[in-house]
């Protein structure tokens, strides 16, 4: 009857990568390669990123906890695939995690730290750094809008699609806030009023 593990997560942490993967496997069965290419390089790439090595190791851990199972699918035109599916125990764990509130993370943004400490730099240098950030943020917003146009704009969206749309709305608004602030900051510093 071996309960393989304590009631919830592995260590003391939110164990979020494991739960992101559980969520993705609840949507549909996937391989490690699928997760890397379709997911972390695509759909939720704006919410979480993960190294390939970490994905495969997390899959091993999830399997050893009994939260997912694996079957090898023989392919004749390509290397075989290890297809992972979520188990009932995994669904229970995911459902519990989804309902648990976690403390706000402190978001580590190099640019903000740099600006915070850049009092001894000349204005032009600061402006150049802000302009590079602006360019990167513009590109990111464009990526978000491309995702929106591609898959989330149909009027007969499912509940799941509506939730994805909500999440994307925040990511877009967050980028827009950043862009507005960058433009104001660049103007302020350019006008020598700092």
Partner DNA sequence: ATCTCATATATGATTAGTCATATATTAACA
Partner DNA sequence: TGTTAATATATGACTAATCATATATGAGAT
Residues in contact with DNA by CB under 7 A are: 10-13, 15-17, 31-34, 36-37, 49-54, 56-57, 59-60, 75-83, 108
Q: Does 84 participate in binding its own copies (rule CB under 8 A)?
A: no
Contacted entry of its own copies, DNA, none for residue 31, CB cut-off 5 to 8 Å set by kind: DNA
Listed in sequence order, the residues at least 6 apart from 58 whose beta carbon sits closer than 8 Å to its beta carbon are 17, 18, 21, 50
Specify which residues 72 forms β-bridges with.
82
Contact segment (CB under 8 A) with its own copies among 28-36, 63-71, 76-84, 100-108 equals 100-108
Spatial CB neighbours of 156, under 8 Å, sequence gap ≥ 6: none
Q: How far is the CB of 80 from DNA (least distance, A)?
A: 7
As measured in angstroms, the least distance from the Cβ of 20 to DNA is 9
168-187 residues in contact with its own copies (CB under 8 A) are 169-171, 173-174, 177-178, 180-181, 185
63: how many CB neighbours lie within 10 A of its CB? 16
Query: Would you state the structure tokens that stand for residue 116, as one six-digit string?
Result: 């915070």
Q: If DSSP codes are grouped into helix, strand and coil, which group holds residue 70?
A: strand
């Amino acid at each position: 009857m071996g309960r393989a593990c304590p009631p919830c997560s592995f260590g003391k942490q939110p164990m979020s990568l494991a739960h992101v993967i559980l969520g993705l496997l609840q949507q549909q069965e996937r391989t490690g390669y699928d997760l890397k290419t379709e997911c972390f390089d695509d759909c939720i790439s704006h919410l979480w990123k993960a190294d390939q090595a970490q994905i495969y190791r997390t899959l091993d851990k999830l399997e050893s906890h009994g939260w997912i199972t694996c079957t090898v699918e023989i392919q004749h035109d390509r290397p075989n695939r290890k297809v992972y599916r979520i188990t009932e125990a995994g669904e229970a764990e995911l459902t519990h995690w989804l309902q648990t509130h976690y403390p706000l993370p402190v978001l580590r943004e190099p640019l903000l730290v740099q600006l915070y400490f850049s009092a001894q730099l000349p204005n032009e240098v600061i402006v150049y750094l802000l302009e590079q950030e602006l360019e990167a943020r513009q590109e990111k917003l464009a990526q978000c809008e491309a995702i929106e146009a591609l898959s989330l704009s149909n009027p007969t969206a499912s509940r799941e699609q509506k939730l994805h749309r909500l999440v994307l709305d925040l990511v877009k608004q967050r980028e827009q806030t950043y862009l507005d602030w960058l433009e104001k900051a660049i103007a302020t510093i350019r006008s020598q009023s700092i």
